[in-house]
DNA sequence: TTGTAGGCGTTATCAC
DNA sequence: GTGATAACGCCTACAA
């Protein structure tokens, strides 16, 4: 039942000006007299005119759209929905939208990127879950396709735009916090070496422990990121000669597993203090609530979109990058 | 670095035909000779021609895009990322894409819907988290905007298109399963009345319990959906005169809370059997793993897109709906 | 079966 | 400051 589409021509007629003047009012206000601006604006209001996006995109050769590949299971884990919300929000504020797409296998993945760009469906991409030797960045650079990564590169640093959260700083904060609460035997529980971000988080723990003069012996545990493995690994550490009294974890999933693994004393209190990473919604609702290192996702998304827009505006410029600091959310 | 755009005209020249013939090869293959088809196809290949989406959208007055409002925290909980993946996947198979957008408050929410449609950015929407007296469906119907709901209406049933999963059937399955394992005192743990879907799930439990001739007394617990509240409620039920030996839960979040609340015996085994709902990834990794009722999200998404495409094709047709059966995933 | 002509709604260019 | 003209790339009549 949509009433007949109202176009820029309708506005022009009602305002008694040319289409071009209407366009100018919208896209180059400084070029037009205040008087006519008002007249055009009121015509726009009256007709409820909204510029057609396809026509505009066709004309300016841009889609004002950012592609995001959503795969399953995502490497972002339970961060994904919050990140997508933040990204969609930041994109909107910059006049962009986020378009989702999927691709099962690596072969179709690159075909999908290509297709979306060639058809003008998206202007570029946001990439997450950047692996140590991820082939995608170089591929995008070679093709001249704009993109920004959530996650810093481990190689070829400086060759493309990225935004990341300083995991090293986050776990160091967690150690400082636990030390201030009197802990000295503080374990780390996280991914096996090789993920990049996991290595950073473990490094932050190690660095802070050394800074406080604390021993690392028997204090590091790594395993796959699931609650079951994490619980088992926590139990193993607790069975050592000098069992930890606290755990710094690579993610909230590890942390929840650690909580399971610790068990509770007679009063129902966990037998070790656990600090998580990511501050997932579940963290606040555990009993007792879980302290966790929070990633500043809205700021991450803002910077990603900002870098993206700048790359579109000046594809030749040197790629920029942003490293943000996470913040410990203590809950005791 | 992008080489100059290759258009349909370039293909036509190389193939020695008119633009129209190229278009026909793409959009109406039966109208063209096999011989020329081959010639055109090879020209397309050689030039790596990809039709421009903006131009196409402008011409056919459609965006081939479905809008999805991603808000935070989402009502879908940890179902959201899996649902979005499935939706993006199904949409793609039908020649559509999913576009994300956000809107903070209710006022801007409707403005956002309007804007996206009026600018031709999307052809319609997929709505989730349908409340009992949700104002959105009627608003969309009134405006003639195509949409499909994930979640059945509680009023005005039949006035719009929806796809849902039969929660009643899911919890009944869970009860049957627990009965077959020898349980007779089976509690329900879920949302307070008023959510719609929560009511269905509780009703399924109640119905199955009656069918098996089991008592409901002291067996129903409701609370907010977080692990802490769920644990407390589970403990309260366990402290009753005839404590339950098993729990059927409204979601995995309730289930994980119930697991916490039950505690473990000397052997480390939970003191009650718990069945969750949604089959979130965490369920499989708990120790012991959690049985859970799985929503068939890929099928849900397929049907949603199917209904959406049909509404676009025939806006006047009577809205259809689909109710799918979930499936218990036993893990013992 | 294939080709010609025109327009979808917008913005860029260049006169006035 | 404002307006006429053209073009973005495609599809849909209609004509041949």
CB atoms closer than 10 angstroms to residue B22: 27
**B137 to A28, A164, A176, B102, B141: CA distances (angstroms):** 38, 40, 52, 18, 6
Structure tokens given for B11: 């293909």
**Model pLDDT, residue B181:** 96
**Model pLDDT, residue B180:** 97
CB atoms closer than 10 angstroms to residue B131: 14
Q: Which residues lie across from B100 on neighbouring strands?
A: A98, B68
User: Cis omega before residue B136 (within 30°)?
Assistant: no
Q: Could you give the count of Cα atoms lying within 13 Å of B232 in the half-sphere of its Cβ? A: 11
What's the CA gap between A290 and A307, in Å, rounded? 34
pLDDT interval class at B1 (50, 70, 90)? very low
Nearest to B67 by CA among B145, B4, B3: B145
Q: What is the DSSP string of A11-39?
A: HHHHHTS-HHHHHHHHH-GGGS-HHHHHH
Contact B90, B112 (CB under 8 A): no
User: Cis omega before residue A73 (within 30°)?
Assistant: yes
**pLDDT above 90 (res B307):** yes
Give the nearest chain A residue to B95 (CA atoms). A101
Task: Bin A161: left if φ > 0, else alpha if -120 < ψ < 50, else beta.
Answer: beta
**Model pLDDT, residue A158:** 79
Backbone φ and ψ for A277, nearest 5 degrees, come out as -140, 130
Helix axes B167-180, B197-211, angle to 10 degrees: 40
Contact A143 B98 (CB under 8 A): no
Nucleotides on chain C that have an atom closer than 7 A to a protein CB are 1-13
**Model pLDDT, residue B4:** 67
From edge to edge, which strands make up the β-sheet containing B147-150? A321-324, A162-165, A147-150, A124-128, A65-69, A97-101, B97-101, B65-69, B124-128, B147-150, B161-165, B321-324
Contact B266, B55 (CB under 8 A): no
Contact A142, A114 (CB under 8 A): no
Q: Which nucleotide is nearest to A9 (CA to C1')?
A: C9
**Model pLDDT, residue A11:** 92
**Model pLDDT, residue B3:** 52
What's the CA gap between A218 and A232, in Å, rounded? 15
Contact A286 B227 (CB under 8 A): yes
Shortest CB distance from A52 goes to which of B80, B97, B120? B120
Q: List the beta strands (DSSP E) in chain A.
A: 65-69, 97-101, 124-128, 147-150, 162-165, 186-190, 220-222, 246-249, 273-277, 291-294, 321-324, 327-329
What's the CA gap between A47 and B74, in Å, rounded? 35
Q: How far is CA A165 from the centre of its chain?
A: 9
What's the CA gap between A216 and A185, in Å, rounded? 8
Contact B250, B226 (CB under 8 A): no
Q: What's the mean pLDDT in B249-264?
A: 89
Q: What is the DSSP string of A44-63?
A: HHHHT----HHHHHHHHT--
Strands B291-294, B273-277: pairing is: parallel
What's the CA gap between B150 and B300, in Å, rounded? 8
Q: Which of B50, B51, B54, B147 to mutate to test the interface with A (most CBs of A within 10 A)?
A: B54
Q: What's the mean pLDDT in B63-92?
A: 91
What's the CA gap between A241 and A151, in Å, rounded? 37
CA/C1' separation B145–C5 (Å): 34
Shortest CB distance from B84 goes to which of A65, A70, A86? A70
Q: What is the 3-state secondary structure (H, E, C) of A189-229?
A: EECCCCCCHHHHHHHHHHHHHHHCCCCCCCCEEECCCCHHH
Compute the Cα dihedral for B221, B227, B228, B234 and give only its sign.
positive
The residue among B228 and B96 whose pLDDT is bigger is B96
User: For chain A (length 332 residues), average pLDDT per consecutive 10?
Assistant: 74 90 90 90 92 94 96 80 96 97 91 95 95 91 95 85 97 98 97 94 98 96 90 94 96 90 79 94 82 97 97 92 97 86
What's the CA gap between B104 and B298, in Å, rounded? 29
Instruction: Give the containing element (helix H, strand E) for B294.
Output: strand B291-294
What's the CA gap between B66 and B267, in Å, rounded? 52
What's the CA gap between A226 and A109, in Å, rounded? 27
* Domains, chain A, with CATH or none: 8-47 (no CATH), 62-166+297-326 (3.40.50.2300), 167-294 (3.40.50.2300)
**Model pLDDT, residue A3:** 52
Shortest CB distance from A102 goes to which of B54, B72, B88? B88
Nucleotides on chain D that have an atom closer than 7 A to a protein CB are 1-5, 7-13
pLDDT tens across B138-162, in order?
Answer: 999 999 999 999 999 888 777 899 9
Q: Which residues lie across from B189 on neighbouring strands?
A: B221, B249
**A9 to A12, A20, A27, B300: CA distances (angstroms):** 5, 9, 16, 43
Contact B303, B163 (CB under 8 A): yes
pLDDT tens across B85-99, in order?
Answer: 999 999 999 999 999
Strands A327-329, A291-294: pairing is: antiparallel
What's the CA gap between B27 and A123, in Å, rounded? 25
Structure tokens given for A231: 């619980």
Rounded to two decimals, the pTM is 0.94
Question: Could you list the protein residues whose CB lies below 7 A from any atom in strand C?
Answer: A 5, 7-9, 19-20, 23, 26-27, 49-52, 55-56, 58-60; B 16-21, 24, 31-33, 35-36, 55, 58-59, 61
**Model pLDDT, residue B2:** 44
Task: Bin A253: left if φ > 0, else alpha if -120 < ψ < 50, else beta.
Answer: alpha
Helix axes A19-27, A8-15, angle to 10 degrees: 100
Task: Bin B163: left if φ > 0, else alpha if -120 < ψ < 50, else beta.
Answer: beta
């Amino acid at each position: 039942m949509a009433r007949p589409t109202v176009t820029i021509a309708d506005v022009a007629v009602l305002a008694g000006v040319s289409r071009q003047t209407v366009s100018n009012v919208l896209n180059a206000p400084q070029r037009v007299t205040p008087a006519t601006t008002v007249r055009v604006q009121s015509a726009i209001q009256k007709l409820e005119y909204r510029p057609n996006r396809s026509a505009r995109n066709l004309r300016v050769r841009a889609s004002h759209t950012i592609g995001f590949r959503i795969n399953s299971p995502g490497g972002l884990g339970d961060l994904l929905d919050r990140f997508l919300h933040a990204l969609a929000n930041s994109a909107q504020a910059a006049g962009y939208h986020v378009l989702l797409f999927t691709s099962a296998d690596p072969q179709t993945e690159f075909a999908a990127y290509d297709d979306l760009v060639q058809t003008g469906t998206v202007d570029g991409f946001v990439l997450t879950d950047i692996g140590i030797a991820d082939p995608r960045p170089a591929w995008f650079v070679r093709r001249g396709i704009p993109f920004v990564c959530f996650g810093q590169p481990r190689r070829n640093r400086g060759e493309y735009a990225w935004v990341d959260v300083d995991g090293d700083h986050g776990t160091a904060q967690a150690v400082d916090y636990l030390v201030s609460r009197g802990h000295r035997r503080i374990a780390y529980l996280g991914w096996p070496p090789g993920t990049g971000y996991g290595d950073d988080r473990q490094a932050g723990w190690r660095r802070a422990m050394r800074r406080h003069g604390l021993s690392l012996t028997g204090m590091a545990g790594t395993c796959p990121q699931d609650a079951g493995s994490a619980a088992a690994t926590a139990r193993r550490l607790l069975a050592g000669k000098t069992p930890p009294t606290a755990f710094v974890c690579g993610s909230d999933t590890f942390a929840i597993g650690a909580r399971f693994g610790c068990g509770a004393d007679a009063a129902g209190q966990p037998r070790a203090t656990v600090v998580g990473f990511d501050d997932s919604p579940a963290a606040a609702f555990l009993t007792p609530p879980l302290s966790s290192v929070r990633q500043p996702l809205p700021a991450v998304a803002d910077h990603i979109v900002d870098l993206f827009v700048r790359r579109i505006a000046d594809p030749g410029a040197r790629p920029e990058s942003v490293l943000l600091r996470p913040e410990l959310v203590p809950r005791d």
